[in-house]
Structure 1
Amino acid sequence: MKRMEELAENLHLNSHLSLEEIPDLNLYMDQVIQLFERKFADTKRNEDDKVLTKTMINNYAKGKLFFPVENKKYTREHLILISMIYQMKGALSINDVKTTLDRLNEKVTNDGLELKALYQRYLQLIGNNAEKLKEDIRDHYYEVNQEVETLEDKDAEYLEQLLLIATFTNMSNDYRRAAEKMVDELGNHQ
């Protein structure tokens, strides 16, 4: 069980860009990249991986995933959107992320939606989800451990890891498919 506690801790589930960490002043692209690299460094699978690059940001801008930048500077609202893009792109295609954010960008630029308040609620929800995930990891470990014990195989540790990996990927796929269905609904309403 200790291994599952370590796994949950090593996921860095609370690695999110908080509003307090977003400067009040507008940032140039290099500053945005540095901020994200520092904040999300622990979430990278490999040390050489990049959290955010100039190419990524330029592609997000060209793809209209966020409203236009003025004078090559990114506002707090841009950083919030880039943070949301960063989280979503791990599970959704860039087109799905764009579909999801299109109306939000419109509401921010045309309707004056207070993006900071929405983002604060988003952070609260993902904080709650992190706690639920830790519980789920423990529960799955217990369940898998019980199943592996019935197999009476000398390679029980491997079989346990195999079943946990298969369980986690299945759940991930189920959540991704649920999100994609919701994106499709958004796309049908635009």
Structure 2
Amino acid sequence: MKNIDELISSLALTNHISLQDIPKMDLYIDQVIELFEESFKESKREQKEKILTKTMVNNYAKGKLFFPVQNKKYSKEHIMLMSLIYQLKGALSIKDIKDCLQILNKEIVDDNFNLEEFYESYLQLSFKNIAVFQDDLRQKAEEVKEEIDTIDGKNKTEMERTLLIASLVSASNLYRRAAEKLVDGIIEKEES
């Protein structure tokens, strides 16, 4: 790849909803959607893409991905959970997300849990993952370039791009499968 740093900067990797971004007062659904659209607008693949819609939020509520809403207003905890859902749905099924978040929802409802501390830890790990990802992406690009040099072909640039895509998808699938196995462990624990 010609400029892997351009690719990295175009990914808007640091887009997130921080605790400071979440108002202290409860929000109506339109305000929640606006918060998500504003926070993740640079992460969109296409401009017309919607980050969060009323239908999505209603489906999350019906699917019990988060604890019930009071008076049609979403609390800070709801917003943190929706932010986690937004990130998780890139790799996991809605059922897996529900299984993954069920303990958080239970703890929040039982009033035994500070979700802010958990969410802040999640954000810290995300930033560490970004640094690791950037280094790894640069390394993968170098490895692909070395592999392409051993292959005969006319359009090496496009072959290099395709090989890098395949390598990234392969790595992504490995992480997704590991996450799914961890979710399966939650399910097995619940069943026993």
Aligned partner letter, 1:95: K
* Identity fraction in percent: 49
Corresponding residue of 1:112:
112
How far did residue 155 of structure 1 move?
A: 0.9
Deviation at 1:154, TM superposition (A): 2.8
| 1:152, distance to aligned residue in structure 2 (A) | 4.4
| Aligned twin of 2:56 | 56
- 1:18-46 CA deviation, whole Å, 9 max, x = no partner? 00101111100000000000111111111
> How much does 1:126 deviate?
0.4
Distance 1:78 1:122 in 2: 15
Structure 1 range deviating more: 72-81 or 150-159: 150-159
After TM superposition, where is structure 1 displaced by more than 3 Å over at least 4 residues in a row?
none
Give secondary structure in 2 for the equivalent of 1:73. Answer: coil
Question: C-alpha offsets along residues 109-167 of structure 1, whole Å, 9 cap, x if unaligned?
Answer: 11420000110010000000001000011000001101111224331101100110000
- Give ranges in structure 1 of 5+ residues lacking alignment: none
In structure 2, how many angstroms separate the alpha carbons of the residues matched to 1:69 and 1:181? 30
**Structure 2 counterparts to residues 40-189 of structure 1, below 5 A:** 40-189=40-189
The answer to which of 91-100 and 106-115 deviates more is 106-115
CA distance, structure 1, for counterparts of residue 155 and residue 180 of structure 2: 38
Give unmatched runs, 5+ long, in structure 2.
none
Distance apart, 1:2 and its partner CA: 5.6
Distance 1:9 1:152 in 2: 31
Cα 1:49/1:107, change in 2 over 3 Å: same
Q: Indicate the residue corresponding to 2:16 in structure 1.
A: 16
**Residues 19-38 of structure 1: matches in 2 within 5 Å?**
19-38=19-38
Please give the TM-score of this superposition, normalised by the length of structure 1: 0.97
